Amino acid sequence: MVRTAAAHELNIAGFTPFSTVDWPDTLAATVFLQGCPWTCFYCHNPALIDPRAEGGVAWSEVVDLLCDRIGLLDGVVFSGGEPTLQRALVPAMEAVRALGFRVGLHTGGAYPGLLGLALPHVDWVGLDIKALPGDYDLVTGRPNSAENAWRSLELVLGNRLLRAGSRRPLDLEVRTTVHPAAIDDAHLRALGCRLADAGVDHWAVQRFRAAGTRVPLPRVSDAEASNLRLDDLPVERFQSLVVR
Ligand code: SF4
């Protein structure tokens, strides 16, 4: 029998009490969870990758801070690392909802099984789809990572469809980080078309930023450097397509 986890077992690396950038148009607190199975070369939180590292923030501290912010915040985002690595995620989401907050989730979709259990408790998902399936492992640094990520996209889209028109719809933003060693302009356009075909209507294309990443980064020649322009992307296929 699988032992169930409790919210206080969450391994929490950090907590941001007020954020306007982690959930679009929502004032949120953000809980950063320790551990990720992947090792993307462009990761901005490499200290959060090791799942054995002790995060250092107690769940009780998070709850106390959230209790002080009832009425001031709209929601709480679980970020990482990869939040769906931890079985305590679902009870933590339930606790957050019980305090009256909406729940957001940042995920790369590495664990569709736990993602499926979490989705009924989630109001908004920021899902990283990093590349076309054939290019995925180059980005994540781990074999066979594409299958889970793309399966997770199916799960989220299916859950969103089930909840469409309900009092608790599920909102979704798919995100792709652009670094020439991860995805070139042609593949980015092809990825956009594939996402649109799958039913994604909000896509955020995020320019790579070196701050916080590990070194050395893959070398990129001038010829490979992206001249990313919105005009080159299938803008007409999305309700919103933003380049950040
Ligand atoms: S999936 Fe996210 S947290 Fe994990 S290594 Fe990649 S960028 Fe970092």
Residue whose C-alpha is closest to residue 106's, from 198, 26, 173 = 173
Q: 108 alpha carbon to ligand 1 midpoint, in Å?
A: 7
- Average confidence (pLDDT) over 186-202: 96
Q: How confident is the model at residue 208 (pLDDT cuts 50, 70, 90)?
A: confident
DSSP letters spanning 174-203? EEEEE-TTT--HHHHHHHHHHHHHHT--EE
Q: Which atom of ligand 1 is nearest to the CA of 37?
A: 4
| Angle, CA of 178, 184 and 186, to the nearest 5° | 120
The whole-chain average pLDDT of the chain stands at 92
Atom 8, ligand 1: residue with shortest CA distance: 43
Q: Are 115 and 155 in contact (CB under 8 A)?
A: yes
Rounded distance, CA 22 to CA 37, Å? 22
Residues 6+ apart with CB under 8 A from 181: 41, 138, 217, 218, 219, 220, 224
- Average confidence (pLDDT) over 19-42: 96
33 lines ligand 1 (CB under 6 A): no
Torsion of the alpha carbons at 58, 47, 77 and 238, rounded to the nearest 10: -170
Q: 36 alpha carbon to ligand 1 midpoint, in Å?
A: 6
Residue 226 pLDDT: 58
Residue whose C-alpha is closest to residue 85's, from 44, 36, 42 = 36
Q: How confident is the model at residue 244 (pLDDT cuts 50, 70, 90)?
A: confident
36 lines ligand 1 (CB under 6 A): yes
- By most ligand atoms within 8 Å of CB, the mutation choice from 33, 34, 45 for ligand 1 is 45
Q: Judge if pTM exceeds 0.75.
A: yes
Q: How confident is the model at residue 218 (pLDDT cuts 50, 70, 90)?
A: confident
Domains parsed from the chain with CATH numbers: 25-216 (3.20.20.70)
Residue whose C-alpha is closest to residue 71's, from 42, 94, 50, 100 = 100
Atom 5, ligand 1: residue with shortest CA distance: 39
**Bridge-based pairing state of the strands 28-33 and 202-207:** unpaired
Q: 81 alpha carbon to ligand 1 midpoint, in Å?
A: 6
204 lines ligand 1 (CB under 6 A): no
Query: What token pair was written down for 180?
Result: 């020439």
User: What residues pair up with 77 in beta bridges, in sequence order?
Assistant: 30, 104
Q: What's the pLDDT tens digit per position in 89-143?
A: 999 999 999 999 999 999 999 999 999 999 999 999 999 999 999 999 999 999 9
Q: What's the pLDDT tens digit per position in 55-85?
A: 989 999 999 999 999 999 999 999 999 999 9
Residue 185 pLDDT: 87
Supply the DSSP symbol for 173. Answer: E
